Amino acid sequence: MDDPVFLAVSALTVGSAIVALETRELIYGGIALAISMLGIAGFFLLLDSPFVAMFQILVYVGAVAVLIIFTVMLVRTQALFSTKEDKGRKASGVVLVLIFMIGLGTLLLVSGLTNSQLMNLQMPPVDFKAIGEEMLTYYSPVLIALGLVLGGSIIGALALARREDMETTDG
């Protein structure tokens, strides 16, 4: 049962990530990015991690992807949507990804780790209540600072994207 679900979630995640990279319209790219992040949350659900999956959905799909889409909609100019396609960059990107994947696969094969060795590792149980308490007490200033930095970066991006060529002409 898990294999078909894993293959479906994998196809959804990788397919929407490719659409996010290859689409010419930024709005569709942002929507595809949100779908790809939902696929990643599906992986966490398959790994029996519902807390991390819901965190993924809340933070990345609910906040970051929506923020990207709204930012694109706010600063929508014709220059953003009229880009020339460069075939050389696509080919070099595909070659770079293939080299990275082959290197990563080789590294995993050479490491000598087997599935039985990984299963025999004795790990202490994870206390989710302690993680939640730490996030709401000890790490809360960091999370607030990250939120302020994210908001400031969006305001800065809007200020930089402001159209300066719209001057009033008298005459």
Asked which of 34-38, 41-45, 63-67, 130-134 is least confident by mean pLDDT, the reply is: 63-67
Confidence grade of residue 10 (pLDDT, cut at 50, 70, 90): very high
Q: Where are the domains of the chain?
A: 1-82, 84-121, 124-164
Average pLDDT of the chain to the nearest whole number: 79
Query: How do residues 140-159 score in pLDDT, each as one tens digit?
Result: 888 888 888 888 877 877 77
Here the tokens at position 141 are: 């200033």
Backbone torsions φ then ψ of 76, nearest 5 degrees:
-65, 115
Torsion of CA 50, 52, 53, 59, to 10 degrees: 140
Percent of residues, the chain, with pLDDT higher than 70: 80
Q: What span, in angstroms and rounded, lies between the C-alpha atoms of 97 and 100?
A: 5
Query: How do residues 94-139 score in pLDDT, each as one tens digit?
Result: 888 889 888 888 887 777 766 666 666 677 777 888 888 888 888 8
Say which residue the tokens 């709005």 belong to: 27
Within its chain, how far is the Cα of 122 from the centroid?
31
CATH code assigned to 1-82: 1.20.120.1200
109-115: Cβ within 8 A, 24+ apart: none
